[in-house]
Structure 1
Amino acid sequence: MTVHIDLVGAVILVVGCLVARAIYQHTRPEQPPLSAGGPRQGKGDLVGAVGASTAVVTVLVLLLGGAAPTTPGGSPSQSPGPTATSPTPSSPSPSRR
């Protein structure tokens, strides 16, 4: 199965990944050289990187238009929605007195 991602969506995804990587690298503490023999420091802030990436992707989708998929003719595709029908009585209901 092939999933088609349009160019704008792919660019937004790549920008989000790059932002996450940059924030993860920026929050990583300085590593001592391996020859120093000291213990290695912890990792970067993964939660902050994912949160910032999600925020960036959300803003870019809103700004660049994460529009509904279009049909090959260029018009927005419409899925059939629920239809409302009113019940039609076949015979008048008897009234109670």
Structure 2
Amino acid sequence: MTFHIEPVGGILLVLAFCVGYFVYKHTCHGATGKGDVVGAIGCGAAVLTALILVFGGSHTESVPSERGAPSALPSDGPR
């Protein structure tokens, strides 16, 4: 199964992955020597959400409806 990711969305996803990776690597230097996976995922998700809100917007073109403009009067004929 494949699906299309818009270029802007792909770039934002890669940036969020990078932030999550760097957060994980930064937390590896603690006393236990294990990285904080949950913190890294949460940070990556927060960064992705913020970037989508800033850059994501609606990048789709609005397509006019096939029905045309709505009319003020019903189209069932004169009464």
Pair in the same fold by TM > 0.5: yes
Aligned equivalent of 1:14: 14
Q: Could you say which structure has the larger radius of gyration?
A: 1
Q: What's the counterpart of residue 3 of structure 1?
A: 3
Q: Deviations over 1:46-79 (max 9, x none)?
A: 01100100100000000002427x3xxx32588x
Q: Equivalent residue for 1:57?
A: 48
Q: In percent, how many aligned pairs have the same letter?
A: 45
> Deviations 1:13-63 (Å, cap 9, x if unpaired)?
000100000000000027xxxxxxxxxx54200011001001000000000
Per-residue CA distance 1:65-96 (angstroms, 9 max, x = gap): 2427x3xxx32588xxxxxxxxxxxxxxxxxx
Q: Could you say what the CA RMSD is over the residues aligned between the two structures, in angstroms?
A: 2.3
Aligned AA (1:43): K
**How many residues were matched structurally?**
64
Asked if the contact 2:9/2:56 (under 8 Å) is kept, the reply is no
Moved over 6 A (4+): none
Aligned AA for 2:4? H
1 or 2, which has the higher helix percentage?
2
- Partners of 1:10 and 1:75 in 2: CA distance: 22
TM-score when normalising by structure 1: 0.57
TM-score w.r.t. structure 2 length? 0.68
